[in-house]
Structure 1
Amino acid sequence: MFDDHLRGIIPDINDQQLEQLREQDFANWFKEYVEKNEVEERIYQIAQGPGRTVQSYKGMPRRISSSRGRGRGRQDTMSQPMQSLRDEQNEDQSIGHEPLQLPVDTQVSPTPLQLGGQVAASSSSSVRTRGPNLGQPTPVNPTNRQMIRLRGLVFLDISVSRSITNDIKMHFTAPWKTWAEIPNKMKDELFGKFQGRYMWDETEEQNVRLAWDKLGKDRFRDILNRARNEMLVKHKKSDIAYLHNLGPNWMKAEVWNELVAYWSSPEWRKKSQSAKINRMTVKDGSITKHACGSIKIEIHEDRLTKKLGRPPNKIEVFRATHTKKGADGVFIDGKSQRVDEDYASAIVEKYGSNSESPPIFDMDKWIEVSGGFNKGRVYGFGSSAKSQTSGSSTSQSCTSAYPGSSSQPAMTQEEIQQLIDEKASRMRAEMMAEILDQVRKELKTTGGTQFATSSHPTTSDSTNP
């Protein structure tokens, strides 16, 4: 029935697409189908089952023992209870006993599909189901889409990241090395799926696509990193070159093998080693650490707002993300403790210990004591600190906007540059397509149809009379 429903909407759907949509949307479709009272009588019969009624009995027959031998005793034991049951059943029916109706448990244990509504596109073993990592399901009724919020260019709902991850895995049809290599048509399709799950305030419309693209870029990079590392561990290999035909179950073998060939090249290995060295570089006596995990600072700040019942100041956010869990006030490393102490001393020095109105947070002073910008990021707050500096000593006399309010922080230079690069890439691709199309048309009109399908003629073709 669900398959017929999909084929009616998408007549040219293939079996692979049908299977993906079935795993993705069936649970929600069935739920709404039941709620609309369109369930056939057959479903009710199946739900009740053949054992929906039983007869009540006054007692169970006794086991018959016999001293005549094991065989005879077993025969009596097997036959006598059945006869007793038949006798008591006839007796109960003759005196008008009503059948005892067993209650039907309508609450069904949630399945992985009901938990997430997404295909578990994971590179881990099929036996291990990571239900919590499934994304937001796509509702049949668009009005049931989940409302999401933004802070800057960060989605505050963690399911958004999971949904984008699953969508990328389900549509990984070519050996793309970076997010920029994915065709714009495919990105539009992925964003269409995102729109089918979520809705947002119209005041945030302009930034939603930018935030989605930014998160997609981060998740794409993380997906490939995880796939490489997990396959190396799973197959007990020490070199990526040995992972030929040993890819994750959500990626086609030919796509994976092309990526393995790229990762095995000397150029990529050199670049990877350089990045590894940079990550392990000791700065200020230790490698930079935090307790955020893969969750953005903005999401931690939103969670802290709900916990405190008010917007936290930046120092509270920093301490919440740089102290050990279960250890009250113990910082994650020496640098975080030093910066916290130096900032407190700098504020006292600047405003005095008896100041009646010190700023809630002075981002300029924080940048000064933490070592300044490093690749556009500020220690403890990432790139979000850029939009919170003003060059004055009282740059942060208030906290960021309360979640849900219409005001949003200004875009950072990094985010603006990302937008410019994205638009420039799209314009170049569109311009090149137009030029090639025009060249083909001109060649056809001049009789050069043999060149219409090739933008790189061979030497022999160009010299032949």
Structure 2
Amino acid sequence: MYSFRNPVFKAHATEDGRINNPPNEIRPKIWREMVRKWSDPSWVDTSDKNKENREKCELKSTCGSAPLAKYRLEKIKKTGREPDPIETFRKFHSTKDNFTTPKAQALHAGMKAKETEKLSKREDVNKFAIYGEVVGQQRRKRVLGMGCGVSGLDVFGSTSSQDCSKKCKEDQRIEKEKSNEKMRMREE
């Protein structure tokens, strides 16, 4: 709707001017109702508030209207495996040459550093656990960097990989025990 609304609203300052100049693709009766809705003060307030919130956003996605679930299904069909969250994060938060924001770049660098660290220590690399450590687990039923509609279950353990979810939790428990053991040894 943005592509229909904006040219008309920029060209015509009054509500009557906007109503009387509908795009060819929209019937005048429908257009009139749309203009009235967009001109309503509560709609304008909500729109302004949403604009402010978008400007504050620290992570911008490049996926457009393609949902993460669609990408995951296509990847599973193509490769036979679910894409790891680090790979998915990079795909949806970078362009051909750069990351969309400095925060996206920093998070990805943090994930890659953790992955490299585990590889250098010859430890098992659990990319789901690494993602959780760097980005954080779900907040407000959402996982940072994975867009709307993606829950912790989707990232850290979907129905197709429940064993991985259990393994992630077990790996985290073992890591914590190792860390506690190292701390005790240092104290002694």
- Could you tell me the TM-score, scaled by structure 2's length? 0.64
Partner of 1:341: 109
What stretches of structure 2 of length at least 5 have no aligned partner?
162-188
Partner of 2:47: 272
CA distance in 2, matches of 1:281, 1:241: 34
What stretches of structure 1 of length at least 5 have no aligned partner?
1-223, 390-394, 403-465
Q: 1:332 aligns with which of 100, 106, 113?
A: 100
State the Cα deviation string for residues 83-107 of structure 1 (Å, max 9, x = none). xxxxxxxxxxxxxxxxxxxxxxxxx
State the Cα deviation string for residues 426-453 of structure 1 (Å, max 9, x = none). xxxxxxxxxxxxxxxxxxxxxxxxxxxx
CA distance in 2, matches of 1:345, 1:227: 45
**Larger Rg computed on CA atoms:** 1
Local SS of the residue matching 1:290: coil
Local SS of the residue matching 1:280: helix
> RMSD of aligned C-alpha atoms?
3.4
Partner of 2:65: 294
Is 1:361 the counterpart of 2:128? The answer is yes
The alpha-carbon distance between structure 1 residues 388 and 275, as it changes in their structure 2 partners (threshold 3 A), is: same
Structure 2 counterpart of 1:278, one-letter code: N
Q: Relative contact order: is structure 1 or structure 2 higher (C-alpha 8 Å, sep ≥ 6)?
A: 2
Partner of 2:37: 262
The alpha-carbon distance between structure 1 residues 225 and 239, as it changes in their structure 2 partners (threshold 3 A), is: farther
Structure 2 counterpart of 1:342, one-letter code: G
Is 1:379 the counterpart of 2:156? The answer is no
State the Cα deviation string for residues 128-177 of structure 1 (Å, max 9, x = none). xxxxxxxxxxxxxxxxxxxxxxxxxxxxxxxxxxxxxxxxxxxxxxxxxx
Is 1:281 the counterpart of 2:52? The answer is no
CA distance in 2, matches of 1:323, 1:294: 16
The answer (yes or no) to whether the contact 1:304–1:317 under 8 Å persists in 2 is no
CA distance in 1, matches of 2:125, 2:74: 26
State the Cα deviation string for residues 284-304 of structure 1 (Å, max 9, x = none). xxxx22221221122223344
The alpha-carbon distance between structure 1 residues 282 and 290, as it changes in their structure 2 partners (threshold 3 A), is: closer
% same residue: 28
Partner of 1:114: none
The answer (yes or no) to whether the contact 1:241–1:260 under 8 Å persists in 2 is no
Local SS of the residue matching 2:128: coil
Shift of 1:347: 5.4
Higher helix share: 2
The answer (yes or no) to whether the contact 2:138–2:151 under 8 Å persists in 1 is no
The answer (yes or no) to whether the contact 1:245–1:256 under 8 Å persists in 2 is no
**Map 1:36-435 → 2, pairs under 5 A:** 224-232=1-9, 236-237=11-12, 242-283=17-58, 288-305=59-76, 308=79, 310-325=81-96, 327=97, 330-346=98-114, 353-355=121-123, 357-362=124-129, 365-370=130-135, 373=138, 376-382=141-147, 383-388=149-154, 395-396=156-157, 401=160
CA distance in 2, matches of 1:230, 1:307: 41
The alpha-carbon distance between structure 1 residues 319 and 228, as it changes in their structure 2 partners (threshold 3 A), is: same
The alpha-carbon distance between structure 1 residues 384 and 250, as it changes in their structure 2 partners (threshold 3 A), is: same
State the Cα deviation string for residues 98-125 of structure 1 (Å, max 9, x = none). xxxxxxxxxxxxxxxxxxxxxxxxxxxx
Structure 2 counterpart of 1:358, one-letter code: V
